[in-house]
C-alpha cells in the first residue's frame, strides 16, 4: 500500500459525518481514506500527497458544521511529493489562497488568520510551476483565439471596465468563448475581470480582500452554471448538482446558496 500523509482532526461537531469530512478536506487534495471516530468526535485524514496534508494543517481553527475544528499532525510533511512526475495539474498545485477562496465560495467559514496563513504559504513557497504554466498557457491560447496572434486575454482587459465589458461580450458572440470554455479559469480569464483573475493565480502578492473577491467570482460562476444547466423532472437531487471543483483538481461540494457574511461584506460587485 502506498504511503499516505495524515492529519488528525478533533473537536468535531456531533452532527459531522464521514461524508462531511470528505467534502471539507477534498479541497486540499486527493484523500485516500478517512478514519472517523464519532464517539470522541475525532478523525484521521489520509492524503495521497504531502502538499494536501500541509494545506489541511492551514485550516486549523476553521469551522465545520458550526464547530471550530483542530487540525494537527504527528509528522512533518515535505513541501513536494518527489514521486510525482506527472504533468497533470491537480488540486495540490493550486495556490493556497486560491484553495481558501474555494472554501469561502462554498459557504465554509475561514477566519482572517487562516486566510493570512494561506497568503504566507504562497509567499514562502511561491506558486507551483505546473499551475503557472497551466494558467499562462490558457491565457495565451484564449487570447490568440479571440484577439489574434501573440495576444493574451489578461493583457487586453487592462482597458477601462466599460470597454472591457463590451469587448468581452463581442468576443463571446463572435467566437463563443464562454460556450467553448471547459472550466472556471477559461471563463474567468475571458471575462472583463480576466486581468484580476490572472494576477490572483500567478502572483504571491495578495491581501485578505483579494481572497474574498475571488471567492465571490467563483460563487457567481457556480450560480450562473446552476441556472443554465437543464434538469429533468425525474432527476434526483444528487444528480442535479454534481460536486465539482473550480477547474482542475479534486471534486468539491455544491455551492452553499448563502455565502458567509464575511465574504458578502468584504466584496463588492464588479
Dist. CA 29–CA 90, nearest whole Å: 8
pLDDT tens sequence across 93-103? 999 999 999 99
pLDDT tens sequence across 115-143? 999 999 999 999 998 899 888 887 776 65
Dist. CA 14–CA 41, nearest whole Å: 7
Give mean pLDDT, residues 7-21: 97
- pLDDT value of residue 242: 35
**Residue 167 predicted with pLDDT over 90:** no
Give mean pLDDT, residues 212-233: 73
**Residue 204 predicted with pLDDT over 70:** yes
Give mean pLDDT, residues 19-29: 96
Domain residue spans of the chain:
1-76
pTM assigned to the model:
0.75
pLDDT tens sequence across 138-159? 777 665 555 555 555 556 544 4
**Residue 35 predicted with pLDDT over 60:** yes
Residues 6+ apart with CB under 8 A from 32: 2, 4, 46, 47, 48
Confidence of residue 52 (pLDDT cuts 50, 70, 90): very high
Residues 6+ apart with CB under 8 A from 166: none
Give mean pLDDT, residues 8-15: 97
| C-alpha to C-alpha distances, 202 to 55, 129, 130, 135, 193, nearest whole angstrom | 18, 10, 11, 8, 15
Query: Which of 27-36, 84-93, 251-260 has the least mean pLDDT?
Result: 251-260
Dist. CA 28–CA 96, nearest whole Å: 9
Spell out the CATH class of 1-76.
alpha beta
Share of the chain above pLDDT 90, in %: 48
Dist. CA 52–CA 27, nearest whole Å: 9
Give mean pLDDT, residues 35-57: 95
Amino acid at each position: 500500500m502506498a504511503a499516505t500523509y495524515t492529519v488528525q482532526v478533533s473537536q468535531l461537531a456531533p452532527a459531522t459525518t464521514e461524508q462531511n469530512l470528505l467534502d471539507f478536506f477534498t479541497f486540499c487534495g486527493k484523500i485516500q481514506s478517512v478514519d472517523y471516530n464519532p464517539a470522541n468526535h475525532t478523525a484521521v485524514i489520509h492524503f495521497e500527497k504531502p502538499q494536501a496534508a500541509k494545506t489541511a494543517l492551514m485550516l486549523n481553527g476553521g469551522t465545520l458544521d458550526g464547530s471550530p475544528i483542530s487540525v494537527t499532525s504527528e509528522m512533518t510533511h515535505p513541501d513536494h511529493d518527489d514521486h510525482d512526475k506527472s504533468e497533470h495539474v491537480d488540486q495540490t498545485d493550486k495556490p493556497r489562497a486560491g484553495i481558501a477562496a474555494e472554501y469561502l465560495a462554498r459557504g465554509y467559514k475561514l477566519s482572517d488568520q487562516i486566510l493570512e496563513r494561506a497568503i504566507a504559504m504562497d509567499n514562502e513557497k511561491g506558486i507551483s510551476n505546473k499551475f503557472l504554466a497551466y494558467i499562462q498557457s490558457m491565457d495565451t491560447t484564449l487570447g490568440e483565439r479571440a484577439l489574434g496572434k501573440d495576444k493574451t486575454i489578461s493583457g487586453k482587459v487592462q482597458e477601462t471596465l466599460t470597454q472591457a465589458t463590451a469587448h468581452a461580450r463581442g468576443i463571446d458572440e463572435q467566437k463563443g468563448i464562454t460556450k467553448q470554455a471547459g472550466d472556471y479559469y477559461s471563463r474567468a480569464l475571458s471575462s472583463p475581470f480576466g486581468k484580476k483573475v490572472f494576477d490572483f493565480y500567478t502572483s504571491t502578492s495578495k491581501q485578505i480582500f483579494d481572497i474574498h473577491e475571488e471567492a465571490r467570482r467563483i460563487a457567481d460562476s457556480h450560480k450562473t452554471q446552476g441556472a443554465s444547466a437543464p434538469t429533468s423532472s425525474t432527476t434526483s437531487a444528487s444528480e442535479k448538482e454534481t460536486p465539482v471543483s473550480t477547474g482542475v483538481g479534486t471534486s468539491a461540494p455544491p455551492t452553499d446558496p448563502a455565502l458567509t457574511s464575511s465574504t458578502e461584506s468584504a466584496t463588492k460587485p464588479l
